């Protein structure tokens, strides 16, 4: 009898092992699409801008369009999976995401690309929460921890390699490949899902928070449109109207969530001081990280003269240090608590932003090691110290049965912070660059039509086109002076953005020191190795 029982147990273990392999294949390949688009696109933005004649505001929207719908819908996506089946919603998300990726890849204009990016965010909101939900439902005990570790490791590797891949593709004129690479990954993920049993949460609320979803979407869209619009010349009153609508929508969202019996964001979670503190620091730190990487990529390629593939490699130390430190901090936080790592790591990240802001015009990649490398290393160390303790503090600040909701809220907060910060910093950058350029070209006594063309093209930032009249030999010196003025104006703008990011990181550090507790509310809370930043 014992032999028969043992045999049956072995059969079940083998079946679980086989299913587990399909689960990991599906979730890793699907998540890779989001990781690639999240980190490879920044390096390809200049090539995209040249090909589609996009303005600086357009570039901000290319990144923000995805973040906007992802942040607004990611919690609803998780709820839909629990309610209607995680595999089903995950599969739908993959199909929407890859269809939008194909549309991005073939987009003949920036307008179509922006619409496709919005749709891509919808797919991501259905797909991203499904990965860990399916893993958690398919594994138990130590196997679950190993499965999540495997998923995190592949995500880390993808995040490391994605900027290199994006830079290579952009350098050979194939920036659209950043989107097309999602097609084979989606086919593999959907094929693997056929082998994975469906799971759902029978205790999930029958009603979903559609009013809350509508309000948070309207709020984020209004603030994003308003912030970017204010940075553009002759924008009129519409951006101000959008900002007001966004603020009113977010206030209404909080009121609706407080009265809902099935809220998208349970406000009661924020009564826990550590949970509020970690989300506050997430807003400032992840917002700063998003804005800094966006403008650093433009600076390296458009001003410092880095080829796209070298710019991708320039960002590699950040990912490598983050990947190397996260597991170490994941183990250390269990002994020393999260407060000190979060405080020190955020502070170091701020120092990294300041160091990256120091270089002026350099000699390109040959000066990398003494210009941008030190700041990138400091930023990598700071983020590497923060990431695992932040996830641990979020998960451990609430009861075990609320940890999934807490993690989802923190992920949504991170995405929203990234989008809103980039919108605000982008709008500011457009104004500062335009004003700086106007002041620098004034002493050059240019022809009125040349000055007007430069003013009109300032919305393309450092990638702006010079007037054709400066191409002849008689204007060579003037053309050089104008180009120097453009570069100097962008460097000043970049410095201001990075200093604001540094202040934001230090605010995150202060929030950690004041609000984050050192003891976790749940004794069984386990430190996480990495936090997905796709």
Predicted confidence at residue 1, as pLDDT, reads 45
Q: What is the reported pTM?
A: 0.89
CATH code of the domain made up of 15-196: 1.20.1250.20
| Section 458-477 average pLDDT | 78
Q: Scanning the structure block, which residue is given the tokens 């083998």?
A: 14
| Section 39-62 average pLDDT | 90
| Section 319-338 average pLDDT | 85
Highest-scoring range by mean pLDDT, 71-75, 196-200, 439-443, 510-514: 510-514
Burial class (CB in 10 A: 0-12, 13-18, 19+), 200: middle
Predicted confidence at residue 521, as pLDDT, reads 54
Q: Is-contact 131 31, C-beta < 8 A?
A: yes
Predicted confidence at residue 16, as pLDDT, reads 53
Residues above pLDDT 70, as percent of the chain? 91
Predicted confidence at residue 281, as pLDDT, reads 95
Predicted confidence at residue 263, as pLDDT, reads 86
| CA dist., res. 263 & res. 267, Å (int) | 8
Predicted confidence at residue 328, as pLDDT, reads 85
What is the chain's mean pLDDT, rounded?
86
| Section 451-464 average pLDDT | 86
Q: Tell me how far CA of residue 405 lies from CA of 72, 194, 221, 399, 410, in angstroms.
A: 15, 27, 24, 10, 9
| Section 263-270 average pLDDT | 86
Query: Is residue 2 predicted with pLDDT exceeding 60?
Result: no
pLDDT band of 229, cuts 50, 70, 90:
confident
Element (H, E) at 124: helix 110-138
Predicted confidence at residue 3, as pLDDT, reads 46
Q: Which residue would you say has higher pLDDT here, 157 or 127?
A: 127
Predicted confidence at residue 4, as pLDDT, reads 43
Q: Which residue would you say has higher pLDDT here, 344 or 160?
A: 344
| Section 122-140 average pLDDT | 84
Concatenated DSSP letters for 375-435?
Answer: HHHHHHHHHHHHHHHHHHHHHHTS-GGGHHHHHHHHHHHHHHHHHHHHHHHHHHHHHHHHH
| Section 47-54 average pLDDT | 92
Q: Which residue would you say has higher pLDDT here, 405 or 302?
A: 302
Predicted confidence at residue 209, as pLDDT, reads 86
Give residues with Cβ within 8 angstroms of 451, minimum separation 6. 441
pLDDT band of 471, cuts 50, 70, 90:
low
Query: Is residue 513 predicted with pLDDT exceeding 80?
Result: yes
Task: Convert the pLDDT of each residue in 78-128 to its tens digit.
Answer: 888 888 888 999 999 999 999 999 999 999 999 999 999 999 999 999 988
pLDDT band of 528, cuts 50, 70, 90:
very low
Give residues with Cβ within 8 angstroms of 73, minimum separation 6. 121, 122, 125, 126, 213, 217
| CA dist., res. 463 & res. 53, Å (int) | 10
SS3 state of residue 304: coil
Predicted confidence at residue 268, as pLDDT, reads 86
| Section 473-482 average pLDDT | 77
pLDDT band of 204, cuts 50, 70, 90:
low
Domain boundaries, the chain: 15-196, 209-261
Highest-scoring range by mean pLDDT, 5-14, 64-73, 103-112, 457-466: 103-112
Predicted confidence at residue 96, as pLDDT, reads 96
Task: Convert the pLDDT of each residue in 357-387 to its tens digit.
Answer: 999 999 999 999 999 999 999 999 999 999 8
Q: Select from 289, 47, 33 the least CA-distant residue to 167.
A: 47
From the CA atom positions of the chain, what is the Rg in Å? 24
Burial class (CB in 10 A: 0-12, 13-18, 19+), 307: middle
Predicted confidence at residue 527, as pLDDT, reads 41
Lowest average pLDDT, out of 88-92, 162-166, 242-246, goes to 162-166
Q: Which residue would you say has higher pLDDT here, 177 or 398?
A: 177
Residues above pLDDT 90, as percent of the chain? 47
Query: Is residue 253 predicted with pLDDT exceeding 60?
Result: yes
pLDDT band of 13, cuts 50, 70, 90:
very low
Predicted confidence at residue 108, as pLDDT, reads 94
pLDDT band of 10, cuts 50, 70, 90:
very low
Q: Is-contact 447 252, C-beta < 8 A?
A: no
């Amino acid at each position: 009898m014992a032999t028969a029982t043992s045999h049956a147990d072995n059969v079940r273990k083998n079946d679980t092992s086989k299913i587990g392999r399909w689960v990991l294949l599906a979730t890793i390949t699907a998540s890779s699409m989001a990781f690639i688009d999240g980190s490879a696109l920044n390096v390809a933005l200049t090539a995209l801008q040249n090909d589609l004649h996009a303005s600086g505001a357009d570039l901000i929207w290319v990144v923000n369009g995805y973040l906007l719908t992802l942040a607004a819908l990611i919690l609803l996506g998780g709820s839909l999976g629990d309610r209607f089946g995680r595999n089903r919603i995950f599969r739908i998300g993959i199909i929407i995401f890859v269809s939008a990726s194909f549309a991005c890849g073939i987009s003949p204009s920036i307008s179509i690309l922006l619409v496709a990016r919005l749709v891509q965010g919808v797919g991501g909101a259905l797909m991203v929460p499904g990965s860990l939900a399916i893993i958690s439902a398919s594994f138990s005990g130590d196997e679950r921890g190993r499965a999540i570790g495997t998923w995190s490791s592949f995500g880390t590797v993808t995040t490391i390699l994605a900027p290199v891949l994006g830079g290579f593709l952009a350098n050979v004129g194939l920036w659209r490949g950043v989107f097309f690479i999602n097609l084979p990954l989606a086919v593999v993920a959907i094929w693997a899902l056929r082998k994975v049993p469906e799971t759902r949460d029978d205790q999930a609320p029958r009603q979903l928070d559609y009013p809350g979803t509508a309000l948070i979407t309207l709020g984020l869209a209004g603030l994003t449109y308003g912030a970017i619009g204010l940075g553009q010349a002759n924008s009129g009153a519409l951006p101000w109207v959008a900002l007001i609508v966004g603020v009113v929508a977010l206030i209404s969202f909080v009121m609706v969530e407080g009265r809902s019996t099935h809220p998208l964001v349970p406000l009661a979670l924020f009564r826990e001081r550590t949970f509020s503190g970690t989300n506050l620091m997430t807003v400032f730190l992840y917002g700063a990280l998003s804005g800094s990487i966006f403008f650093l990529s433009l600076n390296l390629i458009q001003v410092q003269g880095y080829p796209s593939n070298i710019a991708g490699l320039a960002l590699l130390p950040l990912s490598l240090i983050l990947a190397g430190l996260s597991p170490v901090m994941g183990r250390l936080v269990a002994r020393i608590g999260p407060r000190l790592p979060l405080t020190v790591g955020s502070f170091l990240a701020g120092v990294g932003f300041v160091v990256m802001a120091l270089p002026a015009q350099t000699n390109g990649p040959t000066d990398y090691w003494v210009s941008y490398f030190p700041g990138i290393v400091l930023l990598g160390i700071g983020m590497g110290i923060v990431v695992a303790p932040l996830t641990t503090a979020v998960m451990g600040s609430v009861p075990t049965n609320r940890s999934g909701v807490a993690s989802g809220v923190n992920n949504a907060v991170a995405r929203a912070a990234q989008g809103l910060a980039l919108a605000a910093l982008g709008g500011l950058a457009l104004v500062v660059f335009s004003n700086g350029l106007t002041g620098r070209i004034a002493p050059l006594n240019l022809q009125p039509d040349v000055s007007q063309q430069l003013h009109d093209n300032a919305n393309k930032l450092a990638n702006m086109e010079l007037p054709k009249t400066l191409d002849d030999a008689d204007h060579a010196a003037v053309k050089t002076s104008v180009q120097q003025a453009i570069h100097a104006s962008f460097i000043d703008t970049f410095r201001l953005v990075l200093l604001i990011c540094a202040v934001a990181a230090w605010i995150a550090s202060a929030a950690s020191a004041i609000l984050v507790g050192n003891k976790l509310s749940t004794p069984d809370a386990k430190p996480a190795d990495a936090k997905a930043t796709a």
